[in-house]
Structure 1
Amino acid sequence: MVKSSMSRMLAGNGLFYPIIGFASFIAFLYLSFGDLWVNYSKEINLSFVERNGTQFFVDGKVFYINGWNSYWLMDHAADYNTRPRIRTILQAGAKMGLTVCRTWAFNDAGYNALQISPGKFDEKVFRALDHVIAEARRNGIRLLLSLVNNLQAYGGKTQYVKWAWEEGVALSSSNDSFFYDPSIRRYFKSYVKTVLTRRNIYTGIEYRDDPTIFAWELINEPRCMTDPSGDTLQDWIEEMSTFVKSIDRKHLLTVGLEGFYGPKSPKKTTANPEIWAADLGSDFVRNSILSTVDFASVHVYPDHW
């Protein structure tokens, strides 16, 4: 019986299996570290977005924001099986002519946590955020990066309070201790400094020097209901916005407000969705007019109010 060519190769000099093994190893390396072989930094030249009055500018020309919200980018980039989604969605956004994507630059404790505990970070997840920024740059998309969540999802202020409890800090039972407590404020400042001064492993650029980042957002939808006067949240915004600007004066900064008017505003009954909105401890105008805050934002939920 005449053996087939495949049979001869399998039974021949033993080269077939080593070749297959080597090819598999190369494939593994590419899937695991392929991003390191891509030169992101020279794909697209970007300039910082600046504000002049009520308009944004890039290189002296008016810049219009046309974008979307994908909070999950870093989380998905941290897992190799979901990482390709980052490139897919950013390429799709670029093809549609979109200019800015809002996403999380935080994940406090839990699965794929960026910050495992105060001041302790997972390098794998930090590299995932590096990847998100590098891919955005590659596709000409700028990022609005949020630094913490008011809600419990992805840790948020609840996790900061839990960390303080675990370290023996005497706190009230409210998650609003995030805004009050000096120890927690120090935790957050340490986190912010680490993120802003992070050097991207793919581009070699520190975040604070990277024009791919459109702006920083202090906190997603802040509320401090234990102080409906708004004084506590206002003090926190003043301190944290000043701190961010002390490290990074190149990027724009916003608070991350929902857009409610406070108890002293004449618009609390005419513009707010309901009476309760004036008692959340935030005030859209008061929180936004600080010299360290560059622009305001509103979160719209038409299905709810």
Structure 2
Amino acid sequence: MNFIFKFSFLALFWAFLQANAQKFVETREHQFFLKGKPYYFVGTNFWYASYLGLEKNPDRGIERLRKELDFLQSQNVTNIRVLVGVEGSGKINGVNRVEPAYQYEPGKFNDDNLKGLDILMKEVSKRKMKVVLFLSNNWEWSGGFLQYLNWNGHIDDTTVQRALNWDELRDYTLKFYTCEPCMQQYKEQVRRIITRKNSITGKPYIKDRNIMAWEIANEPRPMRPSANDSYKKFIAETAAFIKSLDKNHLVTTGSEGLMGTENRELYIENHLDKNIDYLTVHIWPKNWEWFQKDKMKEGFENAKSKSLAYIDTHIKIADSLKKPLVLEEFGFPRDGHSFDISSSVTLRNQYYDSLFQLWQNNKRRKGSFGGIAFWAFGGIARPIPGQVYWKKGDDFMGDPPMEEQGLNAVFDSDTSTWEVISKYAKQK
């Protein structure tokens, strides 16, 4: 009896160790797994979270960060997507960019400006949250690809500072993928971030179990068909480079999906890559003209039906590749396209509910639609009356500097929207 008891105890103990050993999020075919169980999550874009710890005023900085993380945890939102790589300073494409920069000049880095990320990672560890970190940006509001091109003579100072039209923006940005110095400066930034040791906890980032994934960039696009091959090469080489630095964490692209890639085969090829662990998709029904801002009610059903169909298309692709899918960005304005925080959010709530319902139904079938994260968390910040756009010194609030402040942000005071979110987030 004593032998049987000891054997049973050891077997149970071994099973316990096995179940708890894997605390990094991993993928097994079409699902995420954490601690031996399928991992499905409701998350949010909290891109400015890595900046709050840099604020000298604790009420605007560390205390705000703690309050906002506590709030998200209370709503069962435990996965956040965060900006980590900012390049350059000053106006770019006609708008104020996020500051301060990590890479302030080509190949020159201010490590003190990553202390905000160190603080964030310590705080999320207390709350058992997971973080997705995007390492640069296709768009100008954090410097991104345009800044690398400016540093390397592909776009002059005067041009990079003025507002570019859409065709100009495409024609300039696509040059990033064939600019070797640009990509080397980007890779050096990636290397320094991933191999960093947290200055507060002393833990190397590659061993931080609260990091879910590294993301190549926010919404990387070829921008024109002529750049498809160089774009594909960039994605493949960067994913392999990240994996060579860190074999513990997942890697993904940050792609918007077919709308951003503009080529179904290219999107599939990028996410078929062995170093890309899961698929991403973003949805922007207003930007994609699925409704008109002055006719939101009239266009709502069209926007909703196209959004659901868009997700379903990507679920089918994820199923075929046997990899998970995350809807990591979607946004919808307040009623009447208002930026007033007191305005109603009836249509937004209906839109959110329809997308969350699709995610929940797929989750119940143990499908590939693993995560859903809305854009964006605005926290305790508030838009400044009479001021449409962000300027240096203002509180961050979810809407990036080039967008109207209050446009898509979900503030802590948006009670009815949080009821929709938490209804799905709390369900196991």
* Superposition TM-score, scaled by structure 2 size: 0.53
Of the three residues 25, 32, 37, the one matched with 1:56 is: 32
Residue 77 of structure 1 pairs with residue 53 of structure 2: yes
Match of 2:136 in 1: 148
Residue 42 (structure 2) aligns with: 66
> Which of the two has higher C-alpha Rg?
1
- CA 1:229–1:248: 2 relative to 1, 3 Å: same
Q: Aligned partners of 1:278 and 1:216: how far apart in 2?
A: 20
> Partners of 2:86 and 2:143 in 1: how far apart?
6
Corresponding position of 2:173: 175
Q: Once the 2 structures are TM-superposed, how far is the Cα of residue 279 of structure 1 from its aligned partner?
A: 4.6
Q: Distance in 2 between matches of 1:76 and 1:93?
A: 16
- CA 1:107/1:278 → structure 2, altered by over 3 Å: closer, same or farther? closer
Letter in 2 for 1:253: V
1:113-262 matched pairs, under 5 angstroms: 113-165=101-153, 174-228=172-226, 230-260=228-258
> Equivalent pairs: percent with the same residue?
30
Instruction: Please list every run of 5 or more consecutive structure 1 residues that lacks an aligned counterpart in the other structure.
Output: 1-44, 261-271
Deviation at residue 123 of structure 1 after TM alignment:
2.7
Q: Which residue of 2 aligns with 1:3?
A: none
Measured on the aligned residues, the alpha-carbon RMSD in Å equals 2.5
Give the CA deviation at 1:182: 1.4
Counterparts of 2:188 and 2:242, CA distance in 1 = 11
Structure with a larger share of its residues in helix: 2
Deviation per CA, 1:56-90: give whole Å up to 9, x if none: 11121111121111111123322123212221211
Query: Per the alignment, in what secondary structure is the counterpart of residue 51 of structure 2?
Result: helix
Instruction: Report the alpha carbon displacement of residue 255 of structure 1 after superposing the two structures with TM.
Output: 0.1
How much does 1:96 deviate? 1.5
Q: In 1, distance between residues paired with 2:214 and 2:134? A: 6
Q: Which region of structure 1 is more displaced relative to structure 2, 100-109 or 90-99?
A: 90-99
Q: Quote the offset at 1:52 in angstroms.
A: 0.5
The structure with higher relative contact order (CA 8 Å, sep 6+) is: 2
Determine the structure 2 residue equivalent to 1:290: 273
State the alpha-carbon separation in 2 of the partners of residues 193 and 209 from structure 1: 15
Cα deviation code 1:264-302 (max 9, x no counterpart): xxxxxxxx5xxxx66589943222111010000111123
Give runs of aligned pairs for residues 263-278 of structure 1, distance below 5 A: none
Q: Deviations over 1:151-170 (max 9, x none)?
A: 0011010011111229x9xx
The CA distance in 2 between the partners of 1:208 and 1:63, in whole Å, is 20
Question: How far apart, in 1, do the equivalents of 2:262 and 2:31 lie?
Answer: 31
1:11-45 Cα distance to aligned partner (Å, 9 max, x none)? xxxxxxxxxxxxxxxxxxxxxxxxxxxxxxxxxx9
Whether 2:73 is the aligned partner of 1:94: answer yes
Q: Secondary structure at the match of 1:293?
A: coil
Please give the alpha-carbon distance, in whole angstroms, between the structure 2 residues aligned to 1:123 and 1:235. Answer: 29
TM-score, scaled relative to structure 1: 0.74
**What one-letter code is carried by the residue in structure 2 that aligns with 1:80?**
K
Whichever residue aligns with residue 76 of structure 2, its letter is: G
> Cα gap change, 1:176/1:112 in structure 2, threshold over 3 Å: closer, same or farther?
same
Measure the CA separation in 1 of the matches of 2:126 and 2:22.
10
Structure 1 distance, partners of 2:265, 2:133, is 21
